[in-house]
Chain A
Amino acid sequence: SYVLTQPPSVSVAPGQTARITCGGNNIGSESVHWYQQKSGQAPVLVVYDDSDRPSGIPERFSGSNSGNTATLTISRVEAGDEADYYCQVWDSNSDQRVFGGGTKLTVL
């Protein structure tokens, strides 16, 4: 089945830019969605279809997708952005939805 690879952790200082990658074979041809999960809470959709934001999600959250890597970018990081982030796609070959392993974002 399709495998999505994320770094286990990313650290960034407040006010800086965090970039979380999601690697997959030719992922650029897929629609990638990103979820934020704070400790003890349910996931929240923050970016869908590579780069669109649901209503209520700050413009600081953006996404891109090309080649074998999709990226979630969080600009002007705040302490409240500390969370686990997951990428997700639909694997058309297996007709199953797939999540990456997740990345823990630490705000220093």
Chain B
Amino acid sequence: EVQLLESGGGLVQPGGSLRLSCAASGFTLSSYAMSWVRQGPGKGLEWVSVISGSGDSTNYADSVKGRFTISRDNSKNMLYLQMNSLRVEDTAVYYCAKDPKRVDPSSPFDYWGQGTLVTVSP
């Protein structure tokens, strides 16, 4: 059974940093691209970042480019999101989501974690 479990959320001040983790199980992580998707309070879904199965290709939403870094450790079945220079508008539930393929940007997200809440507030 595919399972994704996020952790690392919390309260941080504007300008601060936070590192999110996503523990994957039930599948071979290296075979699939992985993404982070966020949802602000009372708002819709916003794609944040994607990383290929091997980790050699990444992409980011314009809203986080230059501030967030996605990475993975396939040997540990872990996905990460390093968030720097955080802003109030980054407040959201952050989900990790799995692609059904190693590299295909037109793919859907076939499995989602339950999310971890990040609150950026003075």
Contacts and interface: CB of A to CB of B under 8 A. Distances in A.
A92 B105 CA distance: 8
A69 B44 CA distance: 20
A43 B95 contact: yes
Contacts of B113: 42
Contacts of A45: 108-110
B79 interface: no
A25 to B, nearest CB: 16
A58 B109 CA distance: 18
B4 to A, nearest CB: 9
A31 B95 CA distance: 22
B56 interface: no
Given A42-B115, A90-B106, A100 B44 contact: yes
A7 B115 CA distance: 26
Interface residues of A, number: 29
A97 B44 contact: no
Given A31-B106, A42-B115, A90-B105, A99 B44 contact: yes
B62 interface: yes
Contact of B61 (A48, A54, A96, A100): A96
Contacts of B95: 42-43
Contacts of A102: 44-45
Interface string B83-95: 0000000000001
A96 B47 contact: yes
B73 to A, nearest CB: 23
Given A42-B95, A42-B115, A43-B109, 8 more contacts: A35-B109, A42-B113, A43-B37, A45-B108, A89-B106, A95-B105, A96-B47, A96-B62
Interface of B: 35, 37, 44-47, 50, 59, 61-62, 95, 105-110, 112-115
